Amino acid sequence: GENVEQHPSTLSVQEGDSAVIKCTYSDSASNYFPWYKQELGKRPQLIIDIRSNVGEKKDQRIAVTLNKTAKHFSLHITETQPEDSAVYFCAAMMRKLIFGQGTELSVKP
Amino acid sequence: DSGVTQTPKHLITATGQRVTLRCSPRSGDLSVYWYQQSLDQGLQFLIQYYNGEERAKGNILERFSAQQFPDLHSELNLSSLELGDSALYFCASSVYGRGNEQFFGPGTRLTVL
Protein backbone atom coordinates (compact mmCIF):
# COMPACT_ATOMS: atom_id res chain seq x y z
CA GLY A 1 0.00 0.00 0.00
CA GLU A 2 0.92 3.67 -0.02
CA ASN A 3 3.20 4.27 2.91
CA VAL A 4 5.90 6.65 4.16
CA GLU A 5 8.11 5.60 7.07
CA GLN A 6 9.94 8.34 8.96
CA HIS A 7 12.78 7.98 11.50
CA PRO A 8 13.58 8.86 14.17
CA SER A 9 10.37 9.82 15.94
CA THR A 10 12.30 12.07 18.33
CA LEU A 11 15.69 13.71 17.94
CA SER A 12 17.59 15.80 20.44
CA VAL A 13 20.72 17.72 19.42
CA GLN A 14 22.93 20.43 20.84
CA GLU A 15 22.79 23.86 19.28
CA GLY A 16 25.24 24.01 16.40
CA ASP A 17 25.12 20.29 15.68
CA SER A 18 23.57 18.75 12.58
CA ALA A 19 20.26 16.88 12.48
CA VAL A 20 19.28 14.21 9.97
CA ILE A 21 15.78 12.81 9.45
CA LYS A 22 15.18 9.89 7.10
CA CYS A 23 12.12 8.70 5.19
CA THR A 24 11.34 5.77 2.94
CA TYR A 25 8.39 5.50 0.59
CA SER A 26 6.60 2.61 -0.99
CA ASP A 27 5.56 3.77 -4.46
CA SER A 28 8.41 3.98 -6.96
CA ALA A 29 6.23 6.26 -9.13
CA SER A 30 6.33 9.01 -6.48
CA ASN A 31 7.70 12.19 -8.00
CA TYR A 32 7.42 14.93 -5.41
CA PHE A 33 8.83 14.98 -1.87
CA PRO A 34 8.13 17.96 0.39
CA TRP A 35 9.25 18.53 3.97
CA TYR A 36 7.07 20.45 6.40
CA LYS A 37 7.88 22.04 9.75
CA GLN A 38 5.10 22.30 12.31
CA GLU A 39 5.40 24.27 15.54
CA LEU A 40 3.09 23.40 18.40
CA GLY A 41 -0.53 24.24 17.60
CA LYS A 42 0.36 25.82 14.27
CA ARG A 43 -0.03 24.91 10.64
CA PRO A 44 2.55 22.83 8.74
CA GLN A 45 4.85 25.04 6.70
CA LEU A 46 6.84 23.89 3.70
CA ILE A 47 10.57 24.27 4.29
CA ILE A 48 11.99 22.50 1.25
CA ASP A 49 10.88 20.10 -1.47
CA ILE A 50 12.53 17.98 -4.13
CA ARG A 51 11.31 16.38 -7.33
CA SER A 52 12.28 12.98 -8.62
CA ASN A 53 14.53 14.31 -11.38
CA VAL A 54 16.89 15.86 -8.82
CA GLY A 55 19.17 14.08 -6.35
CA GLU A 56 19.89 16.90 -3.95
CA LYS A 57 18.62 20.38 -3.12
CA LYS A 58 19.97 22.91 -0.68
CA ASP A 59 18.57 26.07 0.87
CA GLN A 60 20.92 27.75 3.34
CA ARG A 61 21.16 25.41 6.38
CA ILE A 62 18.66 22.92 5.01
CA ALA A 63 19.28 20.22 2.42
CA VAL A 64 17.34 17.28 1.11
CA THR A 65 18.73 14.23 -0.68
CA LEU A 66 16.77 11.69 -2.70
CA ASN A 67 17.78 8.15 -3.61
CA LYS A 68 15.15 6.89 -6.06
CA THR A 69 16.67 3.43 -6.36
CA ALA A 70 16.45 2.84 -2.62
CA LYS A 71 13.21 4.85 -2.34
CA HIS A 72 14.43 7.01 0.47
CA PHE A 73 15.02 10.69 1.08
CA SER A 74 16.55 12.62 3.94
CA LEU A 75 16.45 16.07 5.49
CA HIS A 76 19.70 17.56 6.76
CA ILE A 77 19.77 20.61 9.00
CA THR A 78 23.20 22.04 9.74
CA GLU A 79 24.21 24.48 12.50
CA THR A 80 20.96 23.88 14.33
CA GLN A 81 19.42 26.67 16.38
CA PRO A 82 16.82 26.56 19.19
CA GLU A 83 14.21 27.97 16.79
CA ASP A 84 14.61 24.83 14.66
CA SER A 85 12.83 22.94 17.45
CA ALA A 86 9.54 21.66 16.00
CA VAL A 87 7.95 18.58 14.46
CA TYR A 88 9.15 17.81 10.95
CA PHE A 89 7.09 15.81 8.48
CA CYS A 90 8.28 14.24 5.27
CA ALA A 91 5.79 13.43 2.53
CA ALA A 92 5.69 11.67 -0.79
CA MET A 93 3.27 12.29 -3.62
CA MET A 94 1.69 9.03 -4.75
CA ARG A 95 -1.89 9.27 -5.92
CA LYS A 96 -2.11 11.69 -3.03
CA LEU A 97 0.32 13.27 -0.60
CA ILE A 98 1.24 10.71 2.05
CA PHE A 99 2.91 12.02 5.21
CA GLY A 100 5.37 10.32 7.50
CA GLN A 101 4.58 10.11 11.20
CA GLY A 102 6.76 13.09 12.09
CA THR A 103 10.01 13.71 13.95
CA GLU A 104 10.05 15.89 17.04
CA LEU A 105 13.32 17.80 16.91
CA SER A 106 14.62 19.42 20.06
CA VAL A 107 17.64 21.73 19.85
CA LYS A 108 19.20 22.37 23.25
CA PRO A 109 21.00 25.69 23.76
CA ASP B 1 0.28 33.78 6.62
CA SER B 2 -0.26 31.23 3.85
CA GLY B 3 -3.32 32.93 2.34
CA VAL B 4 -5.53 29.95 3.20
CA THR B 5 -8.25 30.76 5.71
CA GLN B 6 -10.26 28.41 7.87
CA THR B 7 -13.24 29.00 10.13
CA PRO B 8 -13.95 28.51 12.89
CA LYS B 9 -10.65 28.36 14.79
CA HIS B 10 -12.08 26.31 17.60
CA LEU B 11 -15.23 24.22 17.84
CA ILE B 12 -16.56 22.44 20.89
CA THR B 13 -19.55 20.18 20.47
CA ALA B 14 -21.16 17.03 21.82
CA THR B 15 -21.23 13.46 20.59
CA GLY B 16 -23.86 12.80 17.97
CA GLN B 17 -23.81 16.35 16.66
CA ARG B 18 -22.97 17.64 13.20
CA VAL B 19 -20.52 20.43 12.35
CA THR B 20 -19.31 22.21 9.24
CA LEU B 21 -15.75 23.43 8.77
CA ARG B 22 -15.02 26.03 6.15
CA CYS B 23 -11.94 26.70 4.05
CA SER B 24 -11.07 29.43 1.57
CA PRO B 25 -8.06 28.63 -0.62
CA ARG B 26 -5.38 31.06 -1.72
CA SER B 27 -6.39 33.29 -4.57
CA GLY B 28 -5.87 31.38 -7.82
CA ASP B 29 -5.56 27.94 -6.25
CA LEU B 30 -7.93 25.38 -7.75
CA SER B 31 -7.22 22.43 -5.48
CA VAL B 32 -8.34 22.06 -1.89
CA TYR B 33 -7.26 19.27 0.43
CA TRP B 34 -8.55 18.28 3.86
CA TYR B 35 -6.38 16.63 6.51
CA GLN B 36 -7.05 15.33 10.01
CA GLN B 37 -4.36 15.50 12.68
CA SER B 38 -4.98 13.67 15.94
CA LEU B 39 -2.64 13.80 18.95
CA ASP B 40 -1.18 10.38 18.37
CA GLN B 41 -1.22 10.45 14.60
CA GLY B 42 0.39 12.42 11.85
CA LEU B 43 -1.42 14.18 9.06
CA GLN B 44 -4.08 11.93 7.60
CA PHE B 45 -5.31 12.87 4.14
CA LEU B 46 -9.11 12.92 3.94
CA ILE B 47 -10.13 14.23 0.54
CA GLN B 48 -9.14 16.50 -2.35
CA TYR B 49 -11.24 18.68 -4.62
CA TYR B 50 -10.08 20.25 -7.84
CA ASN B 51 -12.12 23.02 -9.42
CA GLY B 52 -15.32 21.75 -7.85
CA GLU B 53 -14.85 18.04 -8.45
CA GLU B 54 -13.67 15.33 -6.12
CA ARG B 55 -10.17 14.30 -7.22
CA ALA B 56 -8.84 11.92 -4.57
CA LYS B 57 -10.07 10.24 -1.45
CA GLY B 58 -8.14 9.10 1.57
CA ASN B 59 -9.22 7.61 4.88
CA ILE B 60 -12.41 9.62 5.10
CA LEU B 61 -15.20 8.13 7.16
CA GLU B 62 -18.67 7.74 5.68
CA ARG B 63 -19.93 10.12 8.39
CA PHE B 64 -17.75 12.83 6.82
CA SER B 65 -18.42 14.58 3.55
CA ALA B 66 -17.03 17.56 1.71
CA GLN B 67 -17.69 19.76 -1.24
CA GLN B 68 -16.09 22.58 -3.17
CA PHE B 69 -18.28 25.42 -4.34
CA PRO B 70 -18.10 27.46 -7.58
CA ASP B 71 -16.18 30.21 -5.76
CA LEU B 72 -13.66 27.46 -4.83
CA HIS B 73 -14.21 27.58 -1.09
CA SER B 74 -14.74 24.20 0.50
CA GLU B 75 -16.69 22.80 3.42
CA LEU B 76 -16.06 19.64 5.41
CA ASN B 77 -19.15 18.23 7.10
CA LEU B 78 -18.72 15.92 10.06
CA SER B 79 -21.80 14.16 11.38
CA SER B 80 -22.74 11.74 14.17
CA LEU B 81 -19.63 12.97 15.94
CA GLU B 82 -17.71 10.64 18.24
CA LEU B 83 -15.09 11.39 20.89
CA GLY B 84 -12.42 10.04 18.55
CA ASP B 85 -13.21 12.73 15.99
CA SER B 86 -11.56 15.31 18.23
CA ALA B 87 -8.60 16.56 16.24
CA LEU B 88 -7.07 19.42 14.32
CA TYR B 89 -8.54 19.67 10.83
CA PHE B 90 -6.38 21.37 8.25
CA CYS B 91 -7.28 22.59 4.84
CA ALA B 92 -4.57 23.11 2.23
CA SER B 93 -4.65 24.49 -1.28
CA SER B 94 -2.47 24.33 -4.36
CA VAL B 95 -2.55 25.74 -7.85
CA TYR B 96 -3.12 22.47 -9.61
CA GLY B 97 -3.33 18.88 -8.41
CA ARG B 98 -0.51 16.51 -7.67
CA GLY B 99 3.08 17.61 -7.36
CA ASN B 100 2.41 21.19 -6.43
CA GLU B 101 3.24 22.85 -3.15
CA GLN B 102 0.35 22.71 -0.73
CA PHE B 103 -0.24 25.72 1.48
CA PHE B 104 -1.89 24.94 4.77
CA GLY B 105 -4.48 26.97 6.60
CA PRO B 106 -4.32 27.62 10.36
CA GLY B 107 -6.59 24.68 11.13
CA THR B 108 -9.81 24.15 13.07
CA ARG B 109 -9.49 22.48 16.45
CA LEU B 110 -12.53 20.29 17.02
CA THR B 111 -13.29 19.02 20.50
CA VAL B 112 -16.09 16.49 20.90
CA LEU B 113 -17.30 16.10 24.49
> Over the stretch A26-66, which tens digit does the pLDDT of each residue have?
998 898 999 999 998 899 999 999 998 889 999 999 999 99
Is residue B28 within 8 A of residue B103, CB to CB? The reply is: no
**pLDDT tens for residues B73-112?**
999 999 999 999 999 999 999 987 666 789 999 999 999 9
- Chain A hits for B100, CB-CB cut-off 8 Å, are 32
Which residues, listed in sequence order, are joined to residue A100 by a DSSP beta bridge? none
Euclidean distance between CA atoms A22 and A89, whole angstroms: 10
Give how far Cα A41 sits from Cα of B9, B37, B93, B109, Å. Answer: 11, 11, 19, 9
Between chains, do A96 and B107 touch, taking CB under 8 Å as contact?
Answer: no
Say yes or no for a CB contact (<8 Å) between A96 and B105. Answer: no
Pick from B41, B45, B104: CB nearest A43: B104
Contact (Cβ atoms closer than 8 angstroms) between residue B11 and residue B19: yes
Query: What are the φ and ψ backbone dihedral angles of A82, each rounded to 5 degrees?
Result: -55, -35
Q: Is B104 on the interface with A (CB under 8 A)?
A: yes
**pLDDT of amino acid B97:** 66
CB contact under 8 Å between A44 and B58, yes or no, is no
Average pLDDT, chain B: 93
Whether pLDDT at B41 is above 80: no
Q: Which of A49, A98, A99 sits opposite B101 (nearest CB)?
A: A49
